Amino acid sequence: MATSDVLDTEALTFYREHGWFATGTVLPEDLLDRAEEVVRGLDEDRRDLRVPQGLRDFLAWPPGMPRPTRLNQYIALQYQAISDLTSFPALARTAALLTGSSQLRIFNTALIRKRPGAARQYARVGWHCDRAYWATCSSPRMTTAWVPLQDTTVSMGTLAVMDASHAWPDTTDVRALRTAKTFITEDHDLLWDRIDALRSGAVSVDVRRIELRRGQVSFHHPLTLHGSGANLSEVSRNAISIHYQDAANHYVPAVETDGTPAEYVHDGFVGRLPNGEPDYADPEICPTVWPPASPASA
């Protein structure tokens, strides 16, 4: 077997078992440099791509926002450098491998910027599963790539995953955690207590904080609980999350746990299918990234 096949098999086995996977260095410096330049200029509110009409209001991002953690969604639709990064074939190739998909589209891309500051509210990202936000998605085979723009250590609040939590049994308590939208939460202690209590049901609660060098990327399964701590360093911790959907993914009507209709952020501005439902294959909002447009770049 060729070395690349062995590496692929190891990656897939690890992802299936643990619900996450960290790559070696896969991103070139220049792509990261250009992305960092965008982030440095973000407060100037200047975008170099033509932002789709429906996104405009949603994207308003007033400078001076006091929160230490800032989430800027659909970032790849606004800046060419970020689009180049999020459509980089080596990332999509790995996502395709891990999800067993022959075709992948972007579902969303988000910049998560954590300024230094431990004490303030919103300094941390709460434990959550991405699937909680994807109730209207038909596919269980989506995945997220987490792309830090700089070396990212534990003290900077790197991504933490709950090892193998994607494979936890589907009990009432586990399902409640999996469906809770707790990326932003007021009470991290309470959330932790709910997770910790699962130990009495023989669930293994095993936190892994994934330190990554610049150019490395981690992937996590939609049912893997993850979150991140405060940034205790002196520099900003900037990372881009790329949420991938496989070709079969489509809108399905769903309800939230409180009985209200579920809705994804872009349901209001993606194109419509003939039956009037949101089109998750809208090429403008959800472009295809695998296979790459130019096979030579794969």
Q: Which residues bind ligand AKG (CB under 6 A)?
A: 112, 125, 130, 144, 146, 159, 183, 226, 228, 239, 241
Q: Which is nearer to ligand AKG, 82 or 201 (CB)?
A: 82
Q: Which is nearer to ligand AKG, 31 or 110 (CB)?
A: 110
**To the nearest whole angstrom, how small is the minimum distance from the Cβ of residue 218 to ligand AKG?**
9
Closest CA to 145 of 218, 65, 234: 218
* Pairing status of strand 159-162 against strand 218-220: unpaired
Residue 67 Cβ vs ligand AKG, minimum distance, rounded to whole Å: 13
- Nearest one of 96, 86, 130, 127 to 242, comparing CA atoms: 86
Cβ 266 vs Cβ 285: under 8 Å: yes
Query: In the bound complex, what is the minimum distance in angstroms from residue 272's beta carbon to ligand AKG?
Result: 27
For residue 241, give the nearest of 97, 57, 91, 60 by alpha carbon: 91
State which residue, 183 or 290, has the beta carbon closest to ligand AKG: 183
The least distance separating ligand AKG from the CB of residue 1, rounded to whole angstroms, comes to 32
Instruction: Kindly tell me which of 208 and 291 has the beta carbon lying closer to ligand AKG.
Output: 208
Residue pair 106/244 in contact by the 8 Å Cβ criterion: yes
CA distance 201 to 193: 14
CB of 262 or CB of 273, closer to ligand AKG: 262
